[in-house]
Homo-oligomer: A and B are copies of this chain.
Amino acid sequence: MFNLGNFLTLSTFGESHGTAYGGIITNFPAGLNINLEEVQHQLDRRKPGQSSIVTQRKESDTVKFLSGIFDGKTTGTPIGFMIENENQKSKDYDHISKSYRPSHADFTYDQKFGIRDYRGGGKSSARETVNWVVAGSIAKQILPANVEINAYVSSVGEIFCEKPYQDLDFSKTESNDVRCPDAETAEKMIARIKEIKKEGNTIGGTITCVIKNLPIGIGEPVFGKLQAELAKAMLNINACKGFEYGSGFCGAKMTGKDHNDLFNEDFSTKTNLSGGIQGGISNGMDIYFRVAFKPVATILRPQDSFNSDGDPIIVEGKGRHDPCVLPRAVPIVENFAAFVLADLFLINKLRKYSEPL
């Protein structure tokens, strides 16, 4: 319960300033040569301190695998992994142990649990996503090699990447700090983030994710629809406020005549407003979805608030915070989506009866 995945499952643990993060992946198929460099590479993409527009917290974010892999291959038994926290400084946080920061989870955690680890947000910190990146980047290796999952920053504040994804070259996504494959837009986004950072402010944005070559048939008909599993995963990412796929909210303005995707002879479709999914099941066309992220709640400016005793206080973020979460969220979205796909991909193998030999 409250794990990720249905057959392939991920349990996780860890708090921002605890000893370590980590997780357990269950039911991973045996005999797969795991590319561990790729896992570390994905973690490095998410890591703080990569550029001037993200937080300068120092963490090497090195993943250690503790079980389930032998001689480089998965053994089919649970994969345990751990990422140690190196930069935990409990003292940094003592003064805010009673503070309720606006638009943070301090108040709700206290109300729900009657206790919380207040250091760096404790469990509510987005640092939890290191676990998801590890799990997703391993899970992706289950998928057919030609499946491509490419996310990119499609807007920062009011600056949008106007080009449709089809016109973008995803090999350029990593070529700039903001991870927008359109160089011109990227430049504007970076300038905007720097401006915002200078003001001690933060800014939101959207990420678009495109999945190519996913086999037909992935997703389950009733409560396991592909879009629902993706939406659930995305809305579990900290700061995520919305999810749409295919025509999304724009599709709600359209008529059936214009929205329907007519078939080609090979059962591909002439248009793809459906976003590659029909009845909850992949149809072989590109799957694409868009995720909204609110601006980071921690701003480096004084804000009026109250502490848990009800006394008025001033809270003011200090030091190492992201002015914009979007660039670092790109690998999170990609790898989290990969986990969902791998889970449903495995399950789909059981959905058609085949004569046992």
- Chain A residues 242-268 with CB under 8 Å of chain B are 242-249, 251-257, 259-263, 265, 267
**Nearest B residue to A29, CB-CB:** B353
Interface: A109 (CB within 8 A): yes
A104: chain B residues at CB < 8 Å are: 278-279
Question: Could you list some 22 contacts between A and B, CB below 8 A?
Answer: A1-B1, A1-B9, A7-B350, A12-B78, A18-B67, A29-B353, A31-B114, A31-B352, A77-B221, A100-B263, A103-B273, A105-B278, A123-B221, A143-B356, A231-B235, A243-B244, A248-B292, A249-B249, A251-B292, A259-B294, A259-B297, A265-B312
A350: chain B residues at CB < 8 Å are: 7, 27, 29, 346, 349-350
- Mask: chain A, 120-145; 1 = CB below 8 Å from B; 0 = not: 00111000100000000000001111
Partner of A13, one of B24, B117, B296, B351: B24
Partner of A67, one of B13, B70, B292: B13
Q: A223-B3, A251-B294, A297-B256 given as contacts; is B263 within 8 A of A112 (CB)? A: no
B303 and A80 contact, CB distance less than 8 A: no
**Nearest B residue to A158, CB-CB:** B253
Q: A222-B77, A259-B295, A283-B107 given as contacts; is B66 within 8 A of A19 (CB)? A: yes
**Nearest B residue to A142, CB-CB:** B353
A127 to B25, CA, bound (A): 19
A304: chain B residues at CB < 8 Å are: 262-263
**Nearest B residue to A356, CB-CB:** B144
B12 and A116 contact, CB distance less than 8 A: no
- Mask: chain A, 275-297; 1 = CB below 8 Å from B; 0 = not: 10111111100000000111111
A7 and B7 contact, CB distance less than 8 A: yes
A222 and B78 contact, CB distance less than 8 A: yes
A349 and B349 contact, CB distance less than 8 A: yes
Interface: A64 (CB within 8 A): yes
Interface: A310 (CB within 8 A): yes
Partner of A229, one of B232, B257, B275, B298: B232
A249 to B157, CA, bound (A): 10
Partner of A22, one of B80, B306, B354: B80
- Chain A residues 218-247 with CB under 8 Å of chain B are 220-225, 227-236, 238, 240-247
Interface: A191 (CB within 8 A): no
- Mask: chain A, 140-175; 1 = CB below 8 Å from B; 0 = not: 001111000000000101100000000000000000
A267 to B309, CA, bound (A): 11
- Mask: chain A, 68-87; 1 = CB below 8 Å from B; 0 = not: 10110111111110100000
A107 to B269, CA, bound (A): 11
Closest 4 CB pairs of A and B: A105-B279, A13-B80, A242-B244, A202-B256
Interface: A301 (CB within 8 A): yes
A347: chain B residues at CB < 8 Å are: 7, 27
Instruction: Report the minimal beta-carbon distance from A252 to chain B, rounded to whole angstroms.
Output: 4
Q: A68-B13, A350-B349 given as contacts; is B201 within 8 A of A255 (CB)? A: yes
Instruction: Report the minimal beta-carbon distance from A290 to chain B, rounded to whole angstroms.
Output: 8
Q: A70-B115, A103-B278, A112-B281 given as contacts; is B299 within 8 A of A157 (CB)? A: no
**Nearest B residue to A73, CB-CB:** B115
Partner of A241, one of B71, B75, B201, B248: B248
- Chain A residues 1-22 with CB under 8 Å of chain B are 1-4, 6-7, 9, 11-15, 18-22
